[in-house]
Structure 1
């Protein structure tokens, strides 16, 4: 329903107006009418219509006002009109000759003295008061519903409209029966300090005021253009061969959809060519019962009591059978029509019995992998708690600072093992066996223990030249699990004498 200027967005906002949706042309307004006589010249300007149609609350209510001034008001302008003991602000929705057609449609006399007048174009003061009172409507709606609930009244307040000057408020409500709201009016008048007017509306009018999107994907007819609500019953659905489904046939208001009456006249005209009293026709086999009428193909579908098949018959064939039944004759067959569909037939998928052919190896493989992962986690957890793991992690974490440690610390750390003391974490078993030998004589060189691979037995040895100097490893480097296990099994290598660092003098070594 938007106008052309709204179609081009500027900075993410509609370009039609500054209200971000309420176009000055009225295209985004409800119950709008296109003035197709607006730009046409008239021979007698004095005979033009002096009545202007004004819409309130975004088209929710429309009334006619007399333009007693010499000003010309265009569609979309905000004007100040006469109200109840004050003034009100509305928007010009229609002017010119089309207003006479609308007045004739609604039965309003153009020269009636009861028609109120337009006072002026709305000033900034009028618009400021109008906006302040419009902001009170939501709070008043919530409060009014709570007050009606406290009095246990079987009614629902649908909308509250406050006049621009704040002196009058109109409460629209829906109710199934008559409601005695005399006490409620006193409470409303004392609470909101306004003159109270109560108006009862129907469920369809309430849906039009609320608005929404229908099942067809378009905006509700009652909130855009429909003003006359005609009664709708299930007979209209039966004429159009629609299934009586309350969920699909009901609208947002809870009543039957108004659009069921839109094409009803077309269906009734098409059904005039079908024969009457053709619900049952008789043949030699059994009586045939009418199921449905297809007005698009001019076919009538019948079924037999001993069969579930539907037989399509033409209108002429049904009339022939009716004439024969009137003469007391019964035809042998119905002679149905063969219906050729223009749509290509869908190829039905061929189903194969695969019972017993499904293999569970994939499930077994996944469970085996899961068990292996759990066992691997347990093994790695035990290794982390081993004797040489903590020192190795400390050496890796410290990096090159630990490699530059003075040699005296290493000598102190290896002394208890040479005196036969208890084995310390990370000590080689060969050092523990050599601890009881006499210390006299020249110091013998300790044999280097060969590095054992991951698949090598304890009794096997590898011929490998002794390593004179420990290779320098880059700090903070992550290595594989296999290399970490090899470093744990390898004895501490003799470190090369390095010049002592400046610092506190180490304690003297005890005599051997």
Structure 2
């Protein structure tokens, strides 16, 4: 069976991507599987800002991502956008700790033009309602701040989001608001981090706020996270736009706690023959500690590794005092700086080239210099000639040699004739080889032979 993607391009499915609402956006990686929408009758519907809900499609309405639907509310109905269907909806409900399906309300229908008109009218009143409600809360001397107002789709209900440090008695406020706006009032308290996420902004790192992009659950941040990372406790630098400690302090604290275990305690002093050394500062991730000979001010600072510090502590416990904190065997060589832009250099291939020019980028120049030196040594004090002059002289000498070589081949030299005559005379003057054959018995000795004495 052949499956064809909805976009027809063979890439990612267009139905998988929903509204780009930052942390509320869910990628449906099962959207291109046939029959996925019919696997579950539960549907995820998104409303204004960070409000989501799960509803039951009991009427079997064919729904897809992006459809605007009218859902059940108390009282009346609400208007939302479908953001997820199929098998992933029960998993998302389990993630948000929604266990009882009995309280799940149902979807009425797809939104009609009449529903959209009421919805747009209600949304148009939200900003003016928020400004007026702030003034009413100020007149009642309530220590609270109303951050946002959200009207229901049919305009019969309004949700007021507020921030307060302490518990607020807003019973009188609800009565005044109901008389002023003639709607049902619901008060919902949010935290400072959630308000910053709803407003958005740019952090000191240059990126958009984490609470406004991907964070859905906020964990409390304490100053101990800054102490573990050796960050100065400056409230102006540690606080975010919500006036609370930055959420990013919790990102690397576990790594620092794990690296801190490889360093000795800061209360331990190291004893050497030169004197005592006290803890001054530590580079936790590099596993380096700096000690000072004075407890109050930095004096005679010495930086050693955590391993060397444990060795000195072990020697001190046995009553041994080393000559110094840093020994020859334990001195770390300075690290060479790494050129991060070397990979973008245009001459990086010339450095590794192996040929006449050598292995480095200056190989061609070095080889030319070596040739010039050889010429100087073999020249015997003669003036050096340029390359074109030397080549022309070589060609001329080669042409002059050619007729001489032909004559030498045709006529032998006079010296060769004399050498041949001498060789012939020497051959004539040579003594003949002796005859070493045995003489036959009974023969008389030759005249030249001496008689043997008997």
The answer for the alignment partner of 2:304 in structure 1 is 313
Between the aligned partners of 1:95 and 1:102, the Cα distance in structure 2 is 11
Give, in angstroms, the shift of residue 310 of structure 1: 3.3
Is 1:74 equivalent to 2:67 in the alignment? no
Out of 33, 37, 45, which is 2:26 matched to?
Answer: 33
Between the aligned partners of 1:291 and 1:339, the Cα distance in structure 2 is 22
Are the aligned partners of 2:197 and 2:211 in contact in 1 as well (CA < 8 Å)? yes
Give, in angstroms, the shift of residue 160 of structure 1: 0.6
Tell me the C-alpha RMSD between the 2 structures: 2.6
CA deviation vs aligned residue, 1:220-263 (integer Å, no higher than 9, x gap) = 22222212111111211222232222222211111111111112
The answer for the alignment partner of 1:53 in structure 2 is 44
Are the aligned partners of 1:79 and 1:122 in contact in 2 as well (CA < 8 Å)? yes
Uncovered stretches (5+) of structure 2, i.e. residues with no partner: 1-6, 8-13, 339-454
What is the TM-score of this pair, normalised by structure 2?
A: 0.65
CA separation of 1:45/1:234 partners in 2, compared to 1, >3 Å: closer, same or farther?
closer
Partner SS for 2:28:
coil
Is 1:101 equivalent to 2:101 in the alignment? no
Give, in angstroms, the shift of residue 277 of structure 1: 5.7
CA separation of 1:280/1:106 partners in 2, compared to 1, >3 Å: closer, same or farther?
farther
CA deviation vs aligned residue, 1:164-222 (integer Å, no higher than 9, x gap) = 11111111111111111111111000000001111111111111111212122222222
Out of 306, 312, 315, which is 1:324 matched to?
Answer: 315
Between the aligned partners of 1:187 and 1:87, the Cα distance in structure 2 is 25
Where in structure 2 are the equivalents of 1:239-278 lying within 5 Å? Answer: 239-276=228-265
Are the aligned partners of 2:41 and 2:60 in contact in 1 as well (CA < 8 Å)? no
Uncovered stretches (5+) of structure 1, i.e. residues with no partner: 6-15, 17-22, 345-512
CA separation of 1:39/1:184 partners in 2, compared to 1, >3 Å: closer, same or farther?
same
The answer for the alignment partner of 1:340 in structure 2 is 334
Are the aligned partners of 2:17 and 2:27 in contact in 1 as well (CA < 8 Å)? no
Out of 105, 110, 115, which is 1:116 matched to?
Answer: 105
Between the aligned partners of 2:130 and 2:300, the Cα distance in structure 1 is 58
Give, in angstroms, the shift of residue 120 of structure 1: 1.1
The answer for the alignment partner of 2:198 in structure 1 is 209
Between the aligned partners of 1:49 and 1:276, the Cα distance in structure 2 is 57
Are the aligned partners of 2:18 and 2:25 in contact in 1 as well (CA < 8 Å)? no
Between the aligned partners of 1:276 and 1:146, the Cα distance in structure 2 is 56
Are the aligned partners of 1:303 and 1:309 in contact in 2 as well (CA < 8 Å)? yes
CA separation of 1:300/1:40 partners in 2, compared to 1, >3 Å: closer, same or farther?
farther
Give, in angstroms, the shift of residue 141 of structure 1: 0.5
Give, in angstroms, the shift of residue 290 of structure 1: 2.3
Between the aligned partners of 1:45 and 1:157, the Cα distance in structure 2 is 40
Aligned residues: 321
CA separation of 1:69/1:280 partners in 2, compared to 1, >3 Å: closer, same or farther?
farther
Are the aligned partners of 2:22 and 2:214 in contact in 1 as well (CA < 8 Å)? no
The answer for the alignment partner of 2:119 in structure 1 is 130
Are the aligned partners of 2:270 and 2:312 in contact in 1 as well (CA < 8 Å)? yes
What is the TM-score of this pair, normalised by structure 1?
A: 0.58
Partner SS for 1:273:
coil
Give, in angstroms, the shift of residue 45 of structure 1: 7.3
CA separation of 1:324/1:243 partners in 2, compared to 1, >3 Å: closer, same or farther?
same
Where in structure 2 are the equivalents of 1:100-249 lying within 5 Å? Answer: 100-109=90-99, 112-249=101-238
Between the aligned partners of 2:280 and 2:166, the Cα distance in structure 1 is 41
The answer for the alignment partner of 1:85 in structure 2 is 75
Partner SS for 2:58:
coil
CA deviation vs aligned residue, 1:82-127 (integer Å, no higher than 9, x gap) = 1121111111222222222221122112x52111111111111111
Between the aligned partners of 2:113 and 2:97, the Cα distance in structure 1 is 35
Give, in angstroms, the shift of residue 154 of structure 1: 0.5
Between the aligned partners of 2:333 and 2:293, the Cα distance in structure 1 is 19
